Amino acid sequence: MSTSNHHGARQPSATAIGPADPKRRNVLRWSLGLSAGLMLPPLAGCGGGGDVSEVTADTLPEAPRIHARNGLIDIDLVAAYGNRSVQFAAPSQNVYPGASRSVNAYLRSYDNGLPAPTLCLNAGDTLRIRLQNRLPANDAKYSSLSFLNYQNSTNLHFHGLHVDPKEIRPGVYGDYMVDTPDAGVPPGADRQHEIALPANHANGIYWYHPHLHGSTTTQVLGGMFGAILISTPRNDFDLPDEIRERIIFVHRLNLSDKGRSDTLYDYTGNNNSGFVLNGAYQPTIVMRPGEIQNWHFLNADVFYPFNPVLDEHTLWHYARDGNAFPRQYRPVNADSVTRMDGVLWPGSAMYPGNRNSMLVQASKTPGTYYLRCAKAPSGMDPEIVARVVVEGTPVDMDLPSPHRLPLYNNYQPITDAELAQHGGKTRAVILSVLSKDSSLLAQPIPEGEEWFIPATDNSSLANFVFSTGNAGGKLATFQSALSTTQIVALNAVEEWTLYNMNGYPHPFHIHVNDCYVVKVNGEDIEPYWADTIPLAPNGTQDRPTSITFRSRFTDFTGKFVWHCHALDHEDMGMMELVEVVA
Question: Within 13 A of 147's CA, how many CA atoms are on the CB side?
Answer: 22
Q: Report pLDDT digits (tens) over 357-367.
A: 999 999 999 99
Q: Report pLDDT digits (tens) over 18-67.
A: 333 434 444 343 334 444 565 544 443 344 444 444 589 999 999 999 99
Distance between CA 37 and CA 580 in Å, rounded?
A: 33
> Quick check: 134 pLDDT over 80?
yes
Distance between CA 200 and CA 246 in Å, rounded?
A: 24
CA dihedral of 468, 469, 474, 479, whole degrees rounded to 10: -60
Mean pLDDT across the stretch 306-334? 95
Instruction: Name the class of domain 24-47+59-85+98-231.
Output: mainly beta
Q: Would you say 69 and 95 are in contact if contact means Cβ atoms under 8 Å apart? A: no
Around Cβ 128, how many Cβ atoms within 10 Å?
Answer: 18
pLDDT at 237: 72
Quick one: CA dihedral 233, 235, 236, 239, positive or negative?
positive
Q: Report pLDDT digits (tens) over 213-240.
A: 999 999 999 999 999 999 876 556 778 8
pLDDT at 409: 61
Quick one: CA dihedral 320, 321, 326, 327, positive or negative?
positive
Distance between CA 4 and CA 460 in Å, rounded?
A: 49
pLDDT classification of 404: cutoffs 50, 70, 90:
confident
Distance between CA 502 and CA 539 in Å, rounded?
A: 5
The residue extents of the domains of the chain are 24-47+59-85+98-231, 244-406, 410-581
In 134-225, DSSP assigns E strands to 157-159, 167-169, 172-173, 190-196, 204-209
For the chain, what is the largest distance between any 2 Cα atoms, rounded to a whole number of angstroms?
71
Distance between CA 112 and CA 231 in Å, rounded?
A: 27
> Quick check: 452 pLDDT over 90?
yes
What's this model's pTM, rounded to 2 decimal places?
A: 0.92
Q: What CATH number belongs to 410-581?
A: 2.60.40.420
Distance between CA 272 and CA 419 in Å, rounded?
A: 44
Amino acid at 56: T
Residues in the chain: 582
pLDDT at 54: 57
pLDDT at 240: 80
pLDDT at 439: 96
pLDDT classification of 141: cutoffs 50, 70, 90:
confident
CA distances from 409 to 473, 548, 574 (A): 37, 22, 32
pLDDT at 233: 64
Distance between CA 499 and CA 310 in Å, rounded?
A: 33
Do domains 24-47+59-85+98-231 and 244-406 share one topology? The answer is yes
Mean pLDDT across the stretch 273-284? 97
Residue 31 makes CB contacts below 8 A (sequence gap 6+) with 433, 464, 502, 503, 504, 569
> Quick check: 336 pLDDT over 80?
yes
Residue 444 makes CB contacts below 8 A (sequence gap 6+) with none
Instruction: Using alpha carbons, select from 439, 434, 468, 436 the residue that is nearest to residue 455.
Output: 436
Domain 244-406 has CATH 2.60.40.420: yes
